[in-house]
Chains A and B, each alone.
Chain A
Amino acid sequence: MPAGLLLALTIAPLAAVILCLGLRRPRFSEAANLIAAVMSFASALPLPFVIDGRAELLWGGYVIIDRAAAWVALCGAIVYLLASIYAVGYMRLLDAEDHLHRFYALFAGFAFTILVAPFMNNMAIYWIAIELTTLVSTFLVAFERAAESIEAAWKYIIVVSAGISLALLGTVLLYWNGSSLLGPSYAMTWGIMTAAAPRLNAPLLMMSFLLALIGYGAKVGLAPMHTWLPDAHSEGPAPVSAMLSGALLNTAMIGIVRFLGIARAAGLGIPPGLALVAFGAVSLLTASLFIVRQRGIKRLMAYSSVEHMGVMALGFGFGGPLGFAGALYHMLNHSLNKSLMFFGAGNMMRAYGTKDIEAIVGVGRFFPVQGMLWLAGAVAITGAPPFGLFLSEFTIMRAGLQPAFTWAVYLMAVLLIVIFIGFLNHFRHMFYAPAGNRNSPPGGGVGTWCAVPMWLALVPILVLGIWWPGGIWDYLTSIAASLSPGMP
């Protein structure tokens, strides 16, 4: 059953790629991509429920179906569905009819790589899957062909490829470490390495972990390796930004978490978690400074992604059932919320014809419904109750209340308040600054296709904030138990 669902989850976008490239019709490509997204979502949604506690291995051990992978894939499939609905409306505004089929082929291909990567059981293959996501998304970032988009794409591929080569180095060193124990040729899966970890050479294992943390951290967007992220997120079309932020970053995060599991199984104690906490804290600090002084609307959202990846890194670094469950819950909430924020930003960008926050005024007056949705999303993403992100951030803070990490909790609290003020100050400007003598925004409004996914994103965030189902809590804590066996 899980195998069939996984197959459906991944085959659907792949079929869409082939159909889009084969038929080259814009309307047809839209439909194919949308149907693929619905199918992926429909197979990702039941996937967590049909997996029991044990991981299931397929295809000679190259594919692992476990609860963590199913969770990440679910987050990815949700964003893919929302972004596909949004893309139908948004991409029609871009005046790119003649190469729209290429966009949708790349988009579905990007979704395919994102959905496949978390299920990769061999560490080397996982690395390749992550590199594939970079390759495909580079062209999506450069899709608009403006000078800025191409600059962003160049920076993206160079920074991320260079960064991720460090993860490859870490993987090779880990393999070398294991080869004195497991022989010169063995299958380097997460499970085998975790089992072998206690008998590996500890300093070399720590070095591998740090290299992987920096390498995949570059992909996750942890500061100071985040430099590609604001550019790529702000210069790609809005649906692509949502996919990059809400789906791609999680996929790389799960690699770090699995590496962390190996390091913890080896009994390295506090230092691996501390390294992750340190990167998380630096990310929060960097994000808060750039959010306060930000001028571009999509860059604001991008730095908010750096912030939330930092929060997740803190959660995973704190460890324990609380930390893991909080961080994984945060992953889902962030995926939903950041999609909403990028959709709203894309709509305003189209309506006002600028990315400049200064020039966007009177949003609430011109777009009462959409503006309300976007504002609610902004309140949610800064971690205010009653939304899901408040709950998950609060859980992560509770997880950090242990002697080694108390400082990080205080720092996190202060920085989250700074971000709350800084982020909402920009929204105050956009909603309540005097609009002058302008009666309507220069551009027209956007259609239903662009408004519906905002509703679809906001309602679950609200529900998840008020009601955290007990089943989800058990599910997430069981992931914590399976991924970090060394923790209490």
Chain B
Amino acid sequence: MLPRHLDPLDSSLFSLLAIASLLLTFVMLGSRWLNQYLYAFAAESWAIAGVSAAAGYFGHYPELYVIAALTAAFRGLVLPWLLWRAIGRLPVDREIHDILQPASALVIGAFFVMFALAVSYRIAGALHLGATIATLALTVMLATMLIGFLMLAVRREAVGQVVGLLVLENGIFLGSQMLVPGMPLLIELVVLFDLLVLIACFGVLIAYLHAHAGSTSARELRRLVG
């Protein structure tokens, strides 16, 4: 397993990339501008591609280079480009109705990171991996997922919710590259799948735009209750 045999300098590279992507998640959480979600998401995907490449290099998994290239290409370029086009067609470029002020969202996000750290310490301790990179990987993975769920919960704009979904998957992606770099097939397929999910989302979104020109706020989607 990768985390067991890393010297301090190498593991600090992983730490740097993982922390960078966690920070970029906070950028998305703290911003209201759809464009900024986009740039932060693209940058995060590049950081994750870096993690893949590094895991491939240090763990001797040549197939991870392919995954790094796929991640950078699809999640770093194609998905942001699709989102950028979607945002261009939308009449809004920022969240207008806040459920949660960005500042409070950041504070809640910080609590999530602490919670994730506590959980990861327990798990890594149980596996006797206490002081290794595995703890960090788990922390970042769980924290990113929690923040992704928070974004899904507090975002009103449809694009914001799609980005929340992508952040969830980025979390799993990042964690799995560091924890289980040898997991066969899965990552390649998940890359493809994200693309499909997103295209499906856009299909629905565009149908919605045709049905009611104007708003894409998920707040308008409240007819079906009870």
Instruction: Give the residue among B145, B190, B221 with the most A Cβ atoms within 10 A.
Output: B221
Interface string of A65-83 (1 = CB under 8 A from B): 0000000000000000000
Residues of chain B at the chain A interface (Cβ within 8 Å): 1-2, 59, 122-123, 126-127, 141, 145, 148-149, 152, 158, 161, 164-165, 168-169, 172, 175-176, 179-186, 189-190, 193, 196-197, 200-201, 203-205, 207-208, 210-212, 218, 221, 223-224, 226
Least distance between A232 CB and chain B CB atoms (Å): 9
Nearest-neighbor residue (CB-CB) of B158 within chain A: A154
**Cβ B169 vs Cβ A165 within 8 A:** yes
- Complex Cα distance, B183 from A185, in Å, reads 6
- Partner pick for A145 among B169, B181, B200, B207, CB 8 A cutoff: B207
**Cβ B223 vs Cβ A147 within 8 A:** yes
25 of the cross-chain contacts (CB-CB < 8 Å) are A122-B185, A124-B186, A138-B203, A150-B208, A154-B158, A154-B221, A155-B221, A157-B200, A157-B204, A162-B149, A162-B152, A165-B145, A165-B165, A168-B172, A168-B190, A172-B175, A175-B180, A183-B182, A184-B1, A184-B182, A185-B184, A203-B123, A204-B126, A290-B226, A299-B226
- Partner pick for B181 among A131, A184, A187, CB 8 A cutoff: A184
Interface string of A292-320 (1 = CB under 8 A from B): 01110001000000000000000000000
- Complex Cα distance, B37 from A141, in Å, reads 29
* Residues on A with beta carbons closer than 8 Å to the beta carbon of B122: 203
**Cβ B224 vs Cβ A231 within 8 A:** yes
Least distance between B2 CB and chain A CB atoms (Å): 8
Nearest-neighbor residue (CB-CB) of A158 within chain B: B161
Instruction: Give the residue among A162, A185, A188 with the most B Cβ atoms within 10 A.
Output: A162
- Partner pick for B183 among A131, A155, A175, A231, CB 8 A cutoff: A175
Least distance between A104 CB and chain B CB atoms (Å): 18
Given A172-B183, A185-B184, A207 contacting B123 (CB threshold 8 A): yes
Add 13 more A-B contacts to A145-B211, A158-B161 (CB < 8 A).
Answer: A128-B189, A131-B193, A135-B197, A138-B203, A142-B203, A157-B204, A161-B197, A162-B165, A165-B145, A169-B172, A169-B175, A172-B180, A230-B224
A139 within 8 Å of B by Cβ? Answer: yes
Nearest-neighbor residue (CB-CB) of B2 within chain A: A184
Nearest-neighbor residue (CB-CB) of B119 within chain A: A207
Interface string of A160-183 (1 = CB under 8 A from B): 011001101100100110011001
**Cβ B1 vs Cβ A179 within 8 A:** yes
Nearest-neighbor residue (CB-CB) of B145 within chain A: A169
A30 within 8 Å of B by Cβ? Answer: no
- Complex Cα distance, B211 from A145, in Å, reads 7
Least distance between A133 CB and chain B CB atoms (Å): 12
* Residues on A with beta carbons closer than 8 Å to the beta carbon of B169: 165, 168
Nearest-neighbor residue (CB-CB) of B224 within chain A: A231
Nearest-neighbor residue (CB-CB) of B63 within chain A: A185
A residues 392-449 near B (Cβ < 8 Å) are none
A residues 11-64 near B (Cβ < 8 Å) are none
Given A135-B197, A154-B208, A176-B179, A204 contacting B223 (CB threshold 8 A): no
Nearest-neighbor residue (CB-CB) of B169 within chain A: A165
- Partner pick for A204 among B123, B189, B226, CB 8 A cutoff: B123
**Cβ A146 vs Cβ B1 within 8 A:** no
**Cβ B1 vs Cβ A180 within 8 A:** yes
- Partner pick for A139 among B145, B168, B203, B218, CB 8 A cutoff: B203
Least distance between A449 CB and chain B CB atoms (Å): 28
**Cβ B201 vs Cβ A157 within 8 A:** yes
Least distance between B170 CB and chain A CB atoms (Å): 10
- Complex Cα distance, B182 from A426, in Å, reads 55
Instruction: Give the residue among A124, A128, A184, A207 with the most B Cβ atoms within 10 A.
Output: A184
**Cβ A157 vs Cβ B197 within 8 A:** yes
A484 within 8 Å of B by Cβ? Answer: no
**Cβ B226 vs Cβ A294 within 8 A:** yes
**Cβ B189 vs Cβ A124 within 8 A:** yes
Interface string of A110-143 (1 = CB under 8 A from B): 0000000000001011001001000100110010
- Partner pick for A135 among B149, B181, B196, B210, CB 8 A cutoff: B196
Nearest-neighbor residue (CB-CB) of B222 within chain A: A151
**Cβ B224 vs Cβ A295 within 8 A:** no
Given A145-B211, A175-B183, A234-B224, A139 contacting B200 (CB threshold 8 A): yes
- Complex Cα distance, B127 from A293, in Å, reads 49
Nearest-neighbor residue (CB-CB) of B4 within chain A: A180
* Residues on A with beta carbons closer than 8 Å to the beta carbon of B190: 128, 168
- Complex Cα distance, B149 from A228, in Å, reads 16
Least distance between B199 CB and chain A CB atoms (Å): 9
Instruction: Give the residue among A158, A201, A230, A234 with the most B Cβ atoms within 10 A.
Output: A158
- Partner pick for A142 among B182, B204, B224, CB 8 A cutoff: B204
- Partner pick for B207 among A148, A150, A203, CB 8 A cutoff: A150
Least distance between B17 CB and chain A CB atoms (Å): 18
